[in-house]
Amino acid sequence: MKIIKVNLLLNPDRSVGADYTDAIREAVKVLKEGGTVIYPTDTIYGIGCNATDFKAVETIYRIKDRPLEKPLSVIARNMQWIKELAFVPPKLEPILEQLWPGAITVILPKRDVIPSIVTAGEPNVGLRIPDFELTDKLMAKFGYPLISTSANMAGEDTAAWNSNAVIEDFKPRMWQPDLMLDVGNLQPSLASTIIDYSSVKPKIVRIGPVKPKQLETILKL
């Protein structure tokens, strides 16, 4: 696994921030070749690939030693991307616009562009728009949504906000991600809150770093 150190304090639009831009460029090259990348988010480090590439998604399962019957989540840049990936009821859209970007994953009926391997054969997919500039710029440059699953092995509790812990977790493995964008330790955080909006009434599947006012918004549909 290649590791690229990224200094988020550098301005990517100036020459002194060239490593930021170069890091994104290299990550995009890996993704376009069907590879896998560890990247930071507003919660924890995630492992991703092109969410529409069946073989790349299959590699994610292999790297994490994750059972194929456990679905993966997907991140997108904006609401337009979300609507291209899933069916969004018109009355739900303004609520989602209040929740995103942020640490909330929403389960919605998927469109055919999402391979069935992502959802373990189920008709719904977990989606979110993270609030993290580097990740947004990565997707903007790449042009496709990314798989977003915690950067650790399935069933293990490695602190996926700790960059060194993530690196050490994958070092001894035969199957490893191709690249890691290492921005250092993130703020310790839980994984995102998961809300199921695929049925008539919303259902909270997992509580993460969500604020009480956001919960009110989530449940008022």
- Judged against a pLDDT cut of 90, whether residue 173 lies above it is answered with no
CA 118, 81, 50, 158 torsion: positive or negative? negative
pLDDT band at 17 (very low <50, low <70, confident <90, very high): very low
Which whole number is the average pLDDT over 126-152? Answer: 96
**What residue spans define the domains of the chain?**
2-219
Tokens of 58: 């299959």
Which whole number is the average pLDDT over 34-61? Answer: 97
- Judged against a pLDDT cut of 80, whether residue 161 lies above it is answered with yes
Question: What pTM was computed for the model?
Answer: 0.89
**Three-state DSSP class for residue 139:** helix
pLDDT band at 201 (very low <50, low <70, confident <90, very high): confident
Give the C-alpha separation, 166 to 19, whole Å: 21
Give the C-alpha separation, 201 to 139, whole Å: 31
Fold assignment, 2-219: DHBP synthase (3.90.870)
Which whole number is the average pLDDT over 120-126? Answer: 97
What's the pLDDT tens digit per position in 63-88? 999 999 999 999 999 999 999 999 99
Q: Please name every residue paired with 206 in a beta bridge, in sequence order, or none if there are none.
A: 194
Give the C-alpha separation, 41 to 53, whole Å: 21
C-alpha closest to that of 146 among 167, 177, 118: 118
Tell me which of 17-21, 45-49, 59-63, 140-144 is least confident.
Answer: 17-21
Which whole number is the average pLDDT over 32-50? Answer: 96
Length of the chain, in residues: 221
Do 18 and 7 touch, CB atoms closer than 8 A? no
pLDDT of residue 8: 80
Q: Does 26 or 219 have the greater pLDDT score?
A: 26
